[in-house]
């Protein structure tokens, strides 16, 4: 998107809502912003109906702040709580049938490559754990097998949040949830490992307790997806409502998970690493 498109025509500026003007004046479209800059610029997500203390909302906020080029970023979603925040975000956001996200993203990315051969249009899938690991697993893996140049971000709250707290494939073993009345019978689906096996060039696992890492990881994932191949970020974003802890405990839960079973992990394929070294050096990135 060229800046011309969002720049208000002087004569009509006063007709535009304040929010829009703020986005133009202080948003991340004209001047590059990152997670580090939060609190000092107008974020592209606005007032969403997520529960108080929602880890997923926080996760999305951090991811959105980390987008390297929001003005050319397209978000593909799917039903799930993430819908609420993403529908309130000043980016093209699409959400159709549950689990189809990586198939939709494949078609979209290819069409954008046809229509804008000289531009990077970053197609980013951002959806829940259920959407990726359960109903959408086939489409997720096949987009990776096919080496689609898209970034897939799992907002892993270890439960079906939006439909009221049912077991997800990413729920922890033994956890009692709706539709798992006697506790979940199998461990978290190893999507991180599957991603490595299935052709992802960059795979990272991180929690909302590490906001700056999120910024870095998202940037890497998107840049690598532009040039090398599919990338995957698994973000732990606990759900106070359905995992039934107090809303002010969300970060504590994330921090404990980070120590306990959700450590930061990063996998970079050789070609991705080479590419990354090049761009991060050029940008002076990667030191943070």
Partner 1 sequence: MNIEQKNVSPEHILFEAPRDKAFITGSEAVAEAVKRANIDMSIAYPITPQSESMHLIGDLYAQGYIKDYYRAENEFAVMAAVHGASLGGGRVFTATSGPGTLRAAEMFPVWAGSRQPIVCGFMCRGISLPPSIQPENIEMTFLLDSGMLMFHAENAQDFFDMILKGYAIAEKPDVHLPVGVFVDGFFTTHTREIVMLPPEDIRLSPYDPKCSPVPAFDMETPPMRVVRDPLLNKSNFISYAANASWHQEILAAAERSKKYINHYMNGLIEVDNPKAKILIAASGTAVAQSREAIRDLQAEGIDVGLIKVKSIRPFPEKEIQAATENAEIIIVPEFNAGGWLAREIKASLDHNSRVISAPRIFGGMPMPKELIVNEVKHAIKKRA
Partner 2 sequence: MISNIDIRMAGLGGQGVVTAAHILGTAVVSAGKHSAVNPFFGAEKRLAPAESYVRMADRPVYDRGEILYPDLIMIFAPEVITMGKSYTMPFYSGLKEKGLVMINSDEPILSEKEQAGLDKLGATLFYIPATKLAMEFAGTELATNMTMLGALCGLVDLVEIDTVIEAVAQRFSGKSKFVASGTTAVLDESIKSKYAKVSLLIEKNTTAITKAYEYTKKLNQSK
Partner 3 sequence: MMGVRVAEDKCIGCKICIYACPEPNVIKLTDSKKVTIECIKCKSCLLCVSACPKKALTKDEA
Interacting residues toward partner 2 by CB under 8 A: 49-53, 84, 161-165, 240-242, 244, 247
Q: How far is CA 283 from the centre of its chain?
A: 22
Are the C-beta atoms of residues 24 and 7 closer than 8 Å to each other?
yes
List 143, 162, 234, 269, residue binding ligand TPP (CB under 6 A) = 162
List 59, 68, 161, 169, residue binding ligand TPP (CB under 6 A) = 161
Torsion of CA 112, 140, 162, 123, to 10 degrees: -20
81 touching ligand SF4, by CB under 6 A: yes
Q: Which range touches ligand TPP (CB under 6 A), out of 1-9, 64-72, 127-135, 250-258?
A: 127-135
Q: Closest CB to Mg ion among 85 and 128? A: 128
Classified as helix, coil or strand, 47 is coil
List 64, 239, 253, 272, residue binding ligand SF4 (CB under 6 A) = 239
The values of phi and psi at residue 241, to 5°, are -65, -50
- Work out what residue 53 binds among partner 3, partner 1, its own copies, none; the CB cut-off runs from 5 to 8 Å by kind: partner 3
If you write DSSP's letter for every residue of 137-172 in order, what string do you get? HHHHHHHHHTT-S-EEEEEE-SSBTTTTSB--TTSP
> Which of 57, 31, 44, 56 lies closest to 92, judged by CA?
44
Q: Which range touches ligand TPP (CB under 6 A), out of 4-12, 30-38, 156-164, 263-271?
A: 156-164
Q: How far is CA 155 from CA 106, 116, 152, 283, in A?
A: 20, 29, 10, 28
Q: Closest CB to partner 2 among 95 and 241? A: 241
Q: Which spans of this chain sit near its own copies (rule: CB under 8 A)?
A: 134-135, 137-138, 141-142, 145-147, 169, 185-186, 189-190, 193-194, 197-199
The residues of the shown chain that bind partner 3, judged by CB under 8 A, are 35, 38-40, 42-48, 50-55, 57-58, 61-62, 64, 211-212, 240, 247-252
């Amino acid at each position: 998107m060229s800046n011309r498109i969002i720049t208000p025509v002087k004569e009509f500026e006063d007709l535009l809502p304040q929010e829009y003007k703020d986005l133009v004046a202080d948003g991340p479209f004209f001047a590059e912003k990152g997670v580090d800059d939060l609190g000092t610029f107008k974020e592209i997500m606005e007032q969403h109906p997520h529960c108080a203390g929602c880890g997923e909302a926080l996760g999305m906020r951090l991811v959105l702040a980390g987008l390297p080029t929001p003005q050319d970023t397209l978000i593909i979603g799917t039903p799930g709580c993430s819908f609420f925040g993403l529908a309130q975000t000043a980016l093209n956001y699409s959400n159709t049938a549950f689990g189809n996200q990586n198939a939709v993203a494949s078609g979209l990315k290819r069409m954008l490559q046809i229509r804008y051969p000289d531009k990077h249009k970053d197609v980013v899938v951002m959806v829940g754990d259920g959407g990726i690991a359960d109903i959408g697993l086939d489409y997720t893996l096949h987009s990776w097998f096919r080496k689609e140049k898209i970034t897939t971000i799992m907002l892993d709250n270890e439960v079906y949040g939006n439909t009221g707290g049912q077991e997800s494939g990413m729920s922890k073993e033994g956890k009692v949830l709706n539709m798992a009345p006697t506790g979940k019978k199998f461990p978290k689906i190893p999507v991180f490992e599957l991603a490595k096996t299935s052709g992802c060039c960059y795979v990272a696992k991180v929690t909302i307790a590490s906001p700056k890492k999120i910024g870095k990881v998202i940037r890497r994932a998107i840049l690598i997806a532009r040039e090398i191949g599919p990338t995957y970020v698994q973000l732990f974003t606990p759900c106070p409502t359905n995992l039934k802890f107090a809303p002010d405990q969300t970060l504590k839960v994330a921090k404990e998970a980070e120590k306990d079973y959700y450590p930061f992990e990063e996998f970079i394929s050789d070609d991705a690493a080479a590419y990354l070294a090049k761009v991060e050096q050029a940008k002076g990135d990667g030191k943070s």
